[in-house]
Protein backbone atom coordinates (compact mmCIF):
# COMPACT_ATOMS: atom_id res chain seq x y z
CA UNK A 1 0.00 0.00 0.00
CA UNK A 2 1.30 3.38 -0.94
CA UNK A 3 2.47 5.62 1.86
CA UNK A 4 -0.24 8.30 1.44
CA UNK A 5 -2.82 5.77 2.61
CA UNK A 6 -1.16 5.55 5.99
CA UNK A 7 -0.02 9.11 6.58
CA UNK A 8 -2.14 11.29 8.82
CA UNK A 9 -4.42 13.84 7.21
CA UNK A 10 -5.69 16.99 8.82
CA UNK A 11 -9.30 15.78 9.04
CA UNK A 12 -8.54 12.08 9.66
CA UNK A 13 -7.50 12.10 13.28
CA UNK A 14 -6.48 8.47 13.70
CA UNK A 15 -3.68 7.07 11.58
CA UNK A 16 -4.52 3.85 9.73
CA UNK A 17 -2.28 1.10 11.05
CA UNK A 18 -0.95 -1.97 9.26
CA UNK A 19 -3.42 -4.82 8.76
CA UNK A 20 -1.31 -7.04 10.98
CA UNK A 21 -2.66 -4.93 13.87
CA UNK A 22 -6.27 -5.28 12.74
CA UNK A 23 -7.31 -6.85 16.03
CA UNK A 24 -6.36 -3.55 17.69
CA UNK A 25 -8.03 -1.27 15.15
CA UNK A 26 -10.51 1.27 16.45
CA UNK A 27 -13.90 1.88 14.86
CA UNK A 28 -12.73 5.01 13.05
CA UNK A 29 -9.85 3.05 11.50
CA UNK A 30 -12.32 0.57 10.02
CA UNK A 31 -14.38 3.50 8.73
CA UNK A 32 -11.33 5.07 7.07
CA UNK A 33 -10.36 1.74 5.54
CA UNK A 34 -13.86 1.15 4.17
CA UNK A 35 -14.40 4.57 2.62
CA UNK A 36 -10.93 5.33 1.24
CA UNK A 37 -8.79 2.20 0.99
CA UNK A 38 -10.89 -0.97 0.79
CA UNK A 39 -11.71 -1.09 -2.92
CA UNK A 40 -8.06 -0.51 -3.83
CA UNK A 41 -6.83 -3.36 -1.61
CA UNK A 42 -9.66 -5.87 -2.11
CA UNK A 43 -9.50 -5.61 -5.89
CA UNK A 44 -6.22 -7.53 -5.83
CA UNK A 45 -7.39 -10.20 -3.37
CA UNK A 46 -10.93 -11.00 -4.59
CA UNK A 47 -12.06 -12.68 -7.74
CA UNK A 48 -14.11 -10.41 -9.99
CA UNK A 49 -17.57 -11.64 -9.00
CA UNK A 50 -16.84 -11.35 -5.28
CA UNK A 51 -15.35 -7.89 -5.72
CA UNK A 52 -18.42 -6.71 -7.63
CA UNK A 53 -20.53 -8.05 -4.78
CA UNK A 54 -18.46 -6.06 -2.27
CA UNK A 55 -18.93 -2.92 -4.40
CA UNK A 56 -22.65 -3.11 -3.63
CA UNK A 57 -21.88 -2.74 0.07
CA UNK A 58 -19.19 -0.10 -0.43
CA UNK A 59 -21.36 2.04 -2.69
CA UNK A 60 -24.47 1.77 -0.53
CA UNK A 61 -22.66 2.74 2.68
CA UNK A 62 -21.00 5.66 0.88
CA UNK A 63 -24.41 6.83 -0.33
CA UNK A 64 -25.98 6.55 3.11
CA UNK A 65 -23.11 8.52 4.68
CA UNK A 66 -24.04 11.87 3.12
CA UNK A 67 -27.19 13.87 2.47
CA UNK A 68 -25.53 14.95 -0.78
CA UNK A 69 -26.48 11.50 -2.10
CA UNK A 70 -30.05 11.63 -0.78
CA UNK A 71 -31.43 11.14 -4.29
CA UNK A 72 -29.62 7.76 -4.40
CA UNK A 73 -30.82 6.41 -1.06
CA UNK A 74 -33.61 4.33 -2.63
CA UNK A 75 -31.05 2.84 -5.01
CA UNK A 76 -28.69 2.07 -2.11
CA UNK A 77 -31.53 0.22 -0.39
CA UNK A 78 -31.77 -2.13 -3.38
CA UNK A 79 -28.02 -2.60 -3.40
CA UNK A 80 -27.88 -3.65 0.25
CA UNK A 81 -30.82 -5.99 -0.28
CA UNK A 82 -28.93 -7.69 -3.11
CA UNK A 83 -25.74 -7.76 -1.02
CA UNK A 84 -27.47 -9.55 1.87
CA UNK A 85 -29.39 -11.86 -0.47
CA UNK A 86 -26.16 -13.15 -2.07
CA UNK A 87 -23.96 -12.89 1.03
CA UNK A 88 -23.96 -16.62 1.82
CA UNK A 89 -22.76 -17.46 -1.69
CA UNK A 90 -19.48 -15.64 -1.07
CA UNK A 91 -18.87 -15.82 2.69
CA UNK A 92 -20.76 -18.93 3.78
CA UNK A 93 -24.15 -19.31 5.45
CA UNK A 94 -22.49 -19.57 8.89
CA UNK A 95 -21.39 -15.93 8.59
CA UNK A 96 -24.87 -14.68 7.70
CA UNK A 97 -25.46 -13.16 11.15
CA UNK A 98 -28.05 -10.71 12.42
CA UNK A 99 -25.56 -7.86 11.84
CA UNK A 100 -25.53 -8.70 8.14
CA UNK A 101 -29.32 -9.02 8.03
CA UNK A 102 -29.71 -5.61 9.69
CA UNK A 103 -28.10 -3.98 6.66
CA UNK A 104 -31.44 -4.14 4.85
CA UNK A 105 -32.92 -1.86 7.55
CA UNK A 106 -30.33 0.92 7.20
CA UNK A 107 -32.50 2.78 4.71
CA UNK A 108 -35.33 3.08 7.26
CA UNK A 109 -32.91 4.45 9.87
CA UNK A 110 -31.24 7.07 7.69
CA UNK A 111 -34.56 8.09 6.17
CA UNK A 112 -35.85 8.81 9.68
CA UNK A 113 -32.77 10.10 11.50
CA UNK A 114 -30.32 11.29 8.83
CA UNK A 115 -27.07 9.99 7.26
CA UNK A 116 -24.94 7.39 8.99
CA UNK A 117 -22.29 9.80 10.29
CA UNK A 118 -25.00 11.76 12.11
CA UNK A 119 -26.38 8.72 13.96
CA UNK A 120 -23.19 6.69 14.47
CA UNK A 121 -21.34 6.19 17.75
CA UNK A 122 -17.93 7.23 16.37
CA UNK A 123 -17.92 10.41 18.46
CA UNK A 124 -17.98 8.37 21.67
CA UNK A 125 -14.76 6.55 20.74
CA UNK A 126 -12.61 9.61 21.49
CA UNK A 127 -14.69 10.38 24.59
CA UNK A 128 -13.34 7.18 26.15
CA UNK A 129 -9.94 8.87 26.23
CA UNK A 130 -11.42 11.69 28.31
CA UNK A 131 -12.91 9.17 30.72
CA UNK A 132 -9.56 7.41 31.11
CA UNK A 133 -7.88 10.72 31.95
CA UNK A 134 -10.41 11.27 34.72
CA UNK A 135 -9.07 8.22 36.55
CA UNK A 136 -6.07 8.84 38.78
CA UNK A 137 -5.77 5.35 40.30
CA UNK A 138 -7.22 1.88 39.97
CA UNK A 139 -9.34 2.24 43.11
CA UNK A 140 -13.05 3.16 42.78
CA UNK A 141 -12.81 4.11 39.11
CA UNK A 142 -16.52 4.74 38.63
CA UNK A 143 -16.66 7.15 41.55
CA UNK A 144 -13.67 9.06 40.16
CA UNK A 145 -15.30 9.50 36.75
CA UNK A 146 -18.57 10.69 38.30
CA UNK A 147 -16.74 13.18 40.55
CA UNK A 148 -14.70 14.59 37.66
CA UNK A 149 -17.86 14.87 35.58
CA UNK A 150 -19.61 16.90 38.29
CA UNK A 151 -16.59 19.16 38.59
CA UNK A 152 -16.67 19.92 34.88
CA UNK A 153 -20.39 20.66 35.07
CA UNK A 154 -19.73 23.29 37.76
CA UNK A 155 -17.10 25.12 35.72
CA UNK A 156 -18.43 28.54 34.68
CA UNK A 157 -18.45 29.03 30.96
CA UNK A 158 -17.73 32.30 29.21
CA UNK A 159 -20.82 33.82 27.65
CA UNK A 160 -19.01 36.00 25.15
CA UNK A 161 -17.06 33.55 23.03
CA UNK A 162 -15.76 34.85 19.73
CA UNK A 163 -16.85 32.44 17.02
CA UNK A 164 -14.22 32.18 14.27
CA UNK A 165 -15.34 33.03 10.75
CA UNK A 166 -14.51 30.92 7.74
CA UNK A 167 -12.91 30.69 5.30
CA UNK A 168 -9.65 32.23 6.45
CA UNK A 169 -6.00 32.04 5.50
CA UNK A 170 -3.73 30.00 7.75
CA UNK A 171 -1.44 32.06 9.96
CA UNK A 172 1.69 31.14 7.99
CA UNK A 173 -0.06 31.68 4.65
CA UNK A 174 0.44 28.07 3.61
CA UNK A 175 -3.22 27.17 3.15
CA UNK A 176 -6.90 27.97 3.51
CA UNK A 177 -9.15 26.96 6.39
CA UNK A 178 -12.43 26.48 4.51
CA UNK A 179 -14.35 25.36 7.59
CA UNK A 180 -13.48 24.23 11.08
CA UNK A 181 -13.22 20.64 9.80
CA UNK A 182 -11.94 21.37 6.29
CA UNK A 183 -8.44 22.65 5.51
CA UNK A 184 -6.47 22.87 2.27
CA UNK A 185 -2.66 23.03 2.34
CA UNK A 186 0.03 22.69 -0.31
CA UNK A 187 1.06 19.09 0.36
CA UNK A 188 -0.05 15.90 -1.36
CA UNK A 189 -2.39 14.60 1.30
CA UNK A 190 -4.31 17.84 1.86
CA UNK A 191 -4.21 19.73 -1.45
CA UNK A 192 -7.01 18.17 -3.50
CA UNK A 193 -10.58 19.33 -3.92
CA UNK A 194 -13.52 18.92 -6.27
CA UNK A 195 -15.16 21.96 -7.83
CA UNK A 196 -18.89 22.35 -8.40
CA UNK A 197 -18.19 21.56 -12.06
CA UNK A 198 -16.81 18.19 -10.90
CA UNK A 199 -13.25 19.11 -11.84
CA UNK A 200 -10.32 17.85 -9.77
CA UNK A 201 -8.03 20.67 -8.66
CA UNK A 202 -4.65 20.55 -6.97
CA UNK A 203 -4.37 23.38 -4.44
CA UNK A 204 -1.21 25.49 -4.68
CA UNK A 205 -1.99 28.65 -2.74
CA UNK A 206 -4.80 30.93 -1.60
CA UNK A 207 -4.92 34.68 -1.55
CA UNK A 208 -7.45 37.26 -0.52
CA UNK A 209 -9.43 38.63 -3.42
CA UNK A 210 -8.85 42.25 -4.32
CA UNK A 211 -12.57 43.01 -3.98
CA UNK A 212 -12.61 41.97 -0.32
CA UNK A 213 -9.17 43.17 0.81
CA UNK A 214 -10.43 46.75 1.08
CA UNK A 215 -13.54 45.72 3.01
CA UNK A 216 -13.46 46.07 6.77
CA UNK A 217 -16.03 43.35 7.34
CA UNK A 218 -14.47 39.92 7.86
CA UNK A 219 -17.76 38.23 6.98
CA UNK A 220 -17.45 39.54 3.42
CA UNK A 221 -13.94 38.18 2.87
CA UNK A 222 -13.46 36.30 -0.37
CA UNK A 223 -10.48 34.25 -1.42
CA UNK A 224 -8.99 33.13 -4.69
CA UNK A 225 -7.51 29.67 -4.97
CA UNK A 226 -4.58 29.09 -7.31
CA UNK A 227 -4.27 25.52 -8.46
CA UNK A 228 -3.79 23.00 -11.25
CA UNK A 229 -6.95 21.56 -12.75
CA UNK A 230 -7.03 18.19 -14.52
CA UNK A 231 -8.60 18.39 -17.96
CA UNK A 232 -10.23 14.96 -17.69
CA UNK A 233 -10.76 12.05 -15.32
CA UNK A 234 -12.13 8.50 -15.48
CA UNK A 235 -14.57 6.43 -13.47
CA UNK A 236 -13.00 4.13 -10.91
CA UNK A 237 -15.59 1.37 -11.20
CA UNK A 238 -19.13 0.59 -12.33
CA UNK A 239 -21.48 -1.64 -10.36
CA UNK A 240 -24.52 -3.30 -11.90
CA UNK A 241 -26.93 -5.96 -10.70
CA UNK A 242 -29.84 -7.83 -12.21
CA UNK A 243 -32.29 -10.01 -10.33
CA UNK A 244 -35.76 -11.48 -10.34
CA UNK A 245 -36.97 -9.62 -7.25
CA UNK A 246 -35.50 -6.16 -7.89
CA UNK A 247 -35.20 -3.91 -10.90
CA UNK A 248 -31.79 -3.67 -12.64
CA UNK A 249 -29.28 -1.42 -10.88
CA UNK A 250 -26.33 0.33 -12.49
CA UNK A 251 -24.13 2.95 -10.89
CA UNK A 252 -20.87 4.60 -11.91
CA UNK A 253 -18.34 5.71 -9.31
CA UNK A 254 -18.51 9.19 -10.83
CA UNK A 255 -22.03 9.53 -9.38
CA UNK A 256 -20.34 9.29 -5.96
CA UNK A 257 -17.53 11.68 -7.02
CA UNK A 258 -14.97 8.87 -7.06
CA UNK A 259 -12.51 9.20 -9.94
CA UNK A 260 -9.16 7.98 -11.13
CA UNK A 261 -6.65 10.13 -13.00
CA UNK A 262 -3.52 9.11 -14.85
CA UNK A 263 -0.41 11.02 -13.88
CA UNK A 264 0.23 12.12 -17.47
CA UNK A 265 -3.22 13.71 -17.79
CA UNK A 266 -2.89 17.33 -18.98
CA UNK A 267 -3.46 20.05 -16.39
CA UNK A 268 -3.91 23.79 -16.60
CA UNK A 269 -3.32 26.54 -14.08
CA UNK A 270 -6.55 28.09 -12.76
CA UNK A 271 -7.62 30.77 -10.31
CA UNK A 272 -10.98 30.00 -8.72
CA UNK A 273 -13.09 31.72 -6.05
CA UNK A 274 -13.35 29.66 -2.87
CA UNK A 275 -17.11 29.34 -3.41
CA UNK A 276 -16.44 26.87 -6.24
CA UNK A 277 -15.25 24.19 -3.78
CA UNK A 278 -17.64 21.25 -3.56
CA UNK A 279 -15.62 18.99 -1.25
CA UNK A 280 -12.14 17.94 -0.27
CA UNK A 281 -10.67 14.84 -1.91
CA UNK A 282 -8.60 12.01 -0.48
CA UNK A 283 -5.89 11.09 -2.98
CA UNK A 284 -4.45 7.58 -3.03
CA UNK A 285 -1.89 6.44 -5.55
CA UNK A 286 -2.78 3.10 -7.11
CA UNK A 287 -0.12 0.43 -6.57
CA UNK A 288 2.01 -0.11 -9.66
CA UNK A 289 1.56 -3.87 -9.32
CA UNK A 290 -0.94 -6.22 -7.74
CA UNK A 291 -0.78 -6.20 -3.94
CA UNK A 292 -1.29 -9.95 -4.02
CA UNK A 293 2.16 -10.41 -5.55
CA UNK A 294 5.03 -11.01 -3.18
CA UNK A 295 7.26 -9.26 -2.57
CA UNK A 296 5.67 -5.90 -3.30
CA UNK A 297 8.09 -3.45 -4.90
CA UNK A 298 7.27 0.04 -3.57
CA UNK A 299 10.08 1.56 -5.61
CA UNK A 300 8.08 1.21 -8.84
CA UNK A 301 6.32 4.57 -9.32
CA UNK A 302 2.55 4.68 -9.50
CA UNK A 303 0.95 5.88 -12.73
CA UNK A 304 -2.61 6.49 -11.52
CA UNK A 305 -4.21 8.28 -8.56
CA UNK A 306 -7.67 7.58 -7.19
CA UNK A 307 -9.70 10.39 -5.61
CA UNK A 308 -12.41 9.87 -2.99
CA UNK A 309 -14.60 12.64 -1.56
CA UNK A 310 -13.92 13.30 2.12
CA UNK A 311 -17.52 12.57 3.07
CA UNK A 312 -18.02 15.07 5.88
CA UNK A 313 -16.91 17.92 3.58
CA UNK A 314 -19.61 17.27 0.96
Q: What's the mean pLDDT when you consider all of the chain? A: 85
Q: How many CB atoms lie within 10 A of CB 173?
A: 10
Question: Rounded CA gap, 71 and 177, in Å?
Answer: 29
List Cα–Cα distances, 161 to 151, 158, 166, 218, 311, in angstroms. Answer: 21, 6, 16, 17, 29
Tell me if 260 sits within 8 A of 236, measured CB to CB. Answer: yes
Q: CA-based angle 272:273:277, to the nearest 5?
A: 85
pLDDT at 76 over 80: yes
Q: Which helix (H) or strand (E) holds 192?
A: strand 192-195
More confident residue, 8 or 164: 164
Question: Rounded CA gap, 284 and 304, in Å?
Answer: 9
The top-scoring range by mean pLDDT among 122-126, 160-164, 199-203 is 199-203
More confident residue, 161 or 261: 261
Mean pLDDT of 100-120: 91
Q: What does the pLDDT look like over 47-68, one tens digit per residue?
A: 999 999 999 999 999 999 999 9
pLDDT of residue 7: 39
More confident residue, 202 or 127: 202
Question: Rounded CA gap, 81 and 244, in Å?
Answer: 12
Question: Rounded CA gap, 223 and 277, in Å?
Answer: 11
Q: Pairing relation of β-strands 192-195 and 200-208?
A: antiparallel
pLDDT at 277 over 60: yes
Q: Is the dihedral of CA 286, 290, 294, 299 positive or negative?
A: negative
Question: Rounded CA gap, 48 and 86, in Å?
Answer: 15
Amino acid sequence: MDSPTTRKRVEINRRLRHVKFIRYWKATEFRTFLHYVSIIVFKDFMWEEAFNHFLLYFSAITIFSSTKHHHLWALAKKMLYKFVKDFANFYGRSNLTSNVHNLIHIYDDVDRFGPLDKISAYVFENHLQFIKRCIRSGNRCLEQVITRGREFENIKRAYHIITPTYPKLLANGSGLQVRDDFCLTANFKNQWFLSHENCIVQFLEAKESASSSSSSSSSSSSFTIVGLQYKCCEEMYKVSIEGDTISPVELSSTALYIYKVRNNTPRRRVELPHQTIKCKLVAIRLPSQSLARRPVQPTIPSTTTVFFPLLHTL
